Chain A
């Protein structure tokens, strides 16, 4: 079973739409959770860490459900610049350890 699973999409949404991505992880010992974004042929860039209580950063909201081993990312009021691949990432131990990446969910926002 894969360590991290994501719906690959693609998601195609108009500007201003709200879009949600989901991710599941298989190892209940996972301790740290992140969303990264990756533009085509570029490096992963940290979007946000995900905390048990849920957290929000502007238009982005992340939620974690440890019981279901499920992570989500909600993007409100989508912008053209949000078009990218969104990577769900987990670490079993601290954030200093090995990261396990999902294959990513592709988002295209159209005008």
Chain B
């Protein structure tokens, strides 16, 4: 069964550093998303991406965040200058197959020290 994959599974970085989180969506999907979940809290939407542009973003997705689809398979989330409060699990999701439901990757745990 096709699935969304994410790398790395865990990233530790120092405050102020840039990080890039990588995702490979399901191959025939056209819609891509990033969500995050701070420990003990609900899953929160960050951004959606379709046809090589952002289709929607939340108030969390400020100028420190950017997304890119650099080639035909990868979808990345960049945080330019990480803060302590960026520590969370970041989930990539994709949609657009037969039923248009969103399927999530296993997540990248980001720890900012």
Contacts and interface: CB of A to CB of B under 8 A. Distances in A.
A94 B43 contact: no
Contact of A97 (B56, B89, B96, B107): B56
B24 to A, nearest CB: 14
Contact of A45 (B95, B96, B104): B104
The majority secondary structure among interface residues of chain A is loop
B101 A46 contact: yes
Interface in A13-59: 34, 41-46, 49
B42 A43 contact: no
Contacts of B100: 94-96
B75 interface: no
B45 A44 contact: no
Contact of A96 (B31, B35, B41): B31
A49 B98 CA distance: 14
A102 B105 CA distance: 19
B64 interface: no
Given A95-B95, A96-B96, A98-B56, A46 B103 contact: yes
Interface residues of B, number: 26
A43 B107 contact: yes
Contacts of A95: 95, 99-102
Interface in B54-110: 56, 58, 89, 91, 95-96, 99-107, 109
A97 B33 CA distance: 9
A76 interface: no
Nearest to A41: B89
Contacts of B44: 101
Contact of B58 (A43, A45, A98): A98
Given A43-B91, A43-B107, A96-B96, A102 B42 contact: yes
A73 interface: no
Ranked 3 nearest A-B pairs via Cβ: A43-B104, A101-B43, A103-B42
Interface of B: 31, 33, 35, 41-45, 48, 50, 56, 58, 89, 91, 95-96, 99-107, 109
